[in-house]
Amino acid sequence: MSCHGTDGEVRSNQIVNLGVPQVFGLSNVQSTAQGEVGATKASLRLTDTIEAADVLKGLVDAKAIRAVAAGSVSDGVRHFNARGSRFAQLSVQGFPAIGVSVRRNTRLSVPGVGVLWLHRVIRKDNQIEVRMIELQVRKPNSLGLPVERMSSGCPPGPSSRSLEQAEMT
């Protein structure tokens, strides 16, 4: 979205299917953006909705995923939230207690692979980022996935929403 917002209009993009065999699959991905910019205030809401996601052949199975990042600035005061982010169905192999009401920033150790984050919300003074499913590959593995070399985490993907300072000024 441009720095000028959308004049309140909802803009969207859609991908029917996206995936890498043996690694992940997403179906019916829709991204929307809506924003308004005024002389002393601005607001923005970004939403990604994914009908179904499969990570590592069933390690994570999720349905009706929604990642929402919203923010506003009024008279120089910024507010950010992730309200509306959710899973309608969620299961993780080896973690039977994980379900749709998974807590924000849930971190699970995945043997032989690395770290799985669920409903990850990263807040800073000038931004919020929402990553509903994030897999950080930290170990050599039989799947041939490259080991992550970045210390700050995986780059955002289709189930990630981020609002940065440049978008809010």
How confident is the model over 137-151, as pLDDT tens digits?
A: 999 988 888 898 643
Neighbouring residues of 8: CB distance < 8 A, sequence distance ≥ 6 = 34, 35, 36
Average pLDDT for 100-119: 94
Q: How far apart are CA 90 and CA 158, in angstroms?
A: 17
Place of tokens 């959710």: 86
- The answer to whether 100 and 90 have CB atoms below 8 angstroms apart is yes
Does residue 169 fall inside a structural domain? no
The DSSP H or E segment spanning 97 is none
Does residue 69 fall inside a structural domain? yes
Q: How many domains does the chain have?
A: 1
Quick one: pLDDT band at residue 46, thresholds 50, 70, 90?
A: very high
Does residue 112 fall inside a structural domain? yes
Residue 118 belongs to domain spanning: 11-163
Does residue 6 fall inside a structural domain? no
Quick one: pLDDT band at residue 21, thresholds 50, 70, 90?
A: confident
Quick one: pLDDT band at residue 156, thresholds 50, 70, 90?
A: very low
Does residue 2 fall inside a structural domain? no
Residue 62 has, within 13 A of its CA and on its CB side, a CA count of: 32
Q: How far apart are CA 155 and CA 145, in angstroms?
A: 15
- The answer to whether 128 and 80 have CB atoms below 8 angstroms apart is yes
CA-angle at 66, arms to 29 and 97, nearest 5°: 120
Does residue 4 fall inside a structural domain? no
Helix, strand or coil for residue 113? coil
Does residue 5 fall inside a structural domain? no
